[in-house]
Amino acid sequence: MLTVDRVTVTYDRTPAVRDASLEIADGEVLALLGPSGSGKSTLLRAIAGLEPASGAVRWDGDDLAGVPVHRRGFGLVFQDGQLFPHRDVAGNIAFGPRMQGMAAGDRDRRVAELLELVGLAGYERRPVTELSGGEAQRVALARALAPRPRLLLLDEPLSGLDAELRESLALDLVGVLRRAKATTLLVTHDQEEAFTLADRLAVLDEGRIRQSGDVIDVWRAPADERVARFLGVTTVLPGEVTDGRMSCAFGSADVPWALTGPATVGLRPHALRVASTGVPGEVVSRARRRDHTRVTVDVSETVPDVSTVDAVATMADAARPGDEVRLTLDPGGVAIVG
Ligand code: ADP
């Protein structure tokens, strides 16, 4: 188990990470999610031992302060793989096991096993310079896993890839991490990637961890409006919760809390759908997405304190700027803020 206890990293007197604490249990995947520049890579580097920091990084209770990077038993994967260009695929993956003194026959078996795991069986003799971006990241992952690290540190491992490949590799990566039972810290600025891959989230903003918890809990109940907006909420409005049911100007939905009282409701675009019934408004703009149409709707005439909201329509829906539409609430996109 990894414990990060009040870690602070300061560059030129400016703290890039402030008082960060988190834990990762064995076999768990934690995503460190935050906007660019929020300190994610800095914290990962501090955990790896690549960056001097105050506070403590512990493994199973042992302080790693005096332990150099290569003795921490951590595997690292960066955005651009950083494979050894003069070694072939097998040479890259066998590097760690060789350093550990593993016999040649065992190394070959370990390489084959890992190539199988990452979906590249038979790639042993390929020069790494001839791999596609997605293949190179799979090899980087196999190389990091080869010495059986106790913790895997992934720093934006999919960011260098195009959107479609990213999505399919993210799904593959979930399987690889589960099968390898790898305890993992994943750094990403992409909430979808974090949701796809992680069991738990820690949201970092301006060097501070604003919230951490199970993915679904953070998603449903962001700690404050800033975290909510970072997690895709585009409309915030007052509401009321009574015995596990939330109501707001757009309708009501079940929520998993037995609270009663006023609440701040956060709506993601897909919480509001263009339908035949619901709150009326006028379409201001529209943008087609891959599998739906995103519309911005002016509801200022019907909903107090809210001017425009983001909503979704089906691809076939012809809603155009100027059209009157009705918006119905989809509970799946609702969050309670704070
Ligand atoms: P993220 O990974 O979330 O994009 P970083 O950890 O890379 O953020 O950076 C956090 C902050 O620390 C940024 O303001 C960045 O400019 C600063 N920073 C990062 N590395 C260094 C460095 N080596 N020297 C000085 N400032 C740095």
Span 156-203, pLDDT tens digits: 998 888 888 888 889 889 988 988 889 999 999 998 899 999 999 999
Nearest C-alpha to atom 13 of ligand 1 is from which residue?
Answer: 37
Select from 7, 8, 10, 11 the residue to mutate for testing ligand 1; criterion: most ligand atoms less than 8 Å from CB: 11
Mean pLDDT to the nearest integer, 255-267: 89
Task: State pTM to two decimals.
Answer: 0.90
241: closest CA among 219, 224, 256, 223? 256
Q: What is the pLDDT of residues 73-130, one digit of tens each?
A: 999 999 887 899 999 999 999 999 999 999 999 999 999 999 999 999 999 999 999 9
Question: Taking Cα atoms as reference points, which of 205, 336, 201 lies closest to residue 267?
Answer: 336
Q: What share of the chain in percent tops pLDDT 90?
A: 83
Q: How far apart are CA 235 and CA 333, in angstroms?
A: 11
Which strands sit side by side in the sheet containing 14-24, from one edge to the other?
Answer: 14-24, 2-11, 54-59, 62-63
pLDDT at 155 over 90: yes
Q: Which residues line ligand 1 (CB under 6 A)?
A: 11, 16, 34, 36-42
Atom of ligand 1 nearest to the CA of 12: 25
Please tell me the distance between residue 42's alpha carbon and the centre of ligand 1 in angstroms.
Answer: 6
Go through the domains of the chain in sequence order and give each one's CATH number: 2-220 (3.40.50.300), 235-337 (2.40.50.140)
Over residues 15-31, the mean pLDDT reads: 97
Distance of alpha carbon 44 from alpha carbon 35, whole angstroms: 15
256 dihedral zone (left: phi>0; alpha: psi -120 to 50; beta)? alpha
Residue from 42, 47, 190, 206 whose mutation best tests the ligand 1 pocket (most atoms within 8 A of CB)? 42
